[in-house]
Structure 1
Amino acid sequence: MKRTRLALVAVAALIFWASLLPAYAVPPTATPSPGYEARLQEQRAASRAVVAPVIKSRRVKRMRAH
């Protein structure tokens, strides 16, 4: 009888201690989506692609003949 009571007290203490710990739950929207990850990878690869620099033409100021 004493062992059973001691075991119940120990289990109750463990359950109480576990209830004090914070829960680390992830919302369902935070789970990775394969399609979304693929689009992100494509977008990142495209942004890293070498783009030729745009050369701006210089305007030459013309002098007017009066």
Structure 2
Amino acid sequence: MVVEVADRVFEEERAAPVIATAGPLGRADTYNLMVRTLGMDPDGYERWLSGTWLRLATTPSTLPEA
């Protein structure tokens, strides 16, 4: 299976770690932890989340080739 992430196509096994990490970061529980518990500004959380997702989608993997 092929997965498209940030306008790039990856084989499923290469995209799985990105998908497994990016999904939980956008959950309401994560928002509540970062904003309500840790006191992060909501706009700061939005900037942090979009920057984190961008890095996850565009940074080359450091995992060895299979």
Q: Same fold (TM over 0.5)?
A: no
User: Which structure's CA Rg is the greater one?
Assistant: 1
- Normalized per residue, the structure richer in strand is 2
- Normalized per residue, the structure richer in helix is 2
So what's the TM-score if we normalise by structure 2? 0.30
Q: Specify which structure has the bigger relative contact order, considering alpha-carbon pairs within 8 angstroms and separated by 6 or more residues.
A: 2
So what's the TM-score if we normalise by structure 1? 0.30
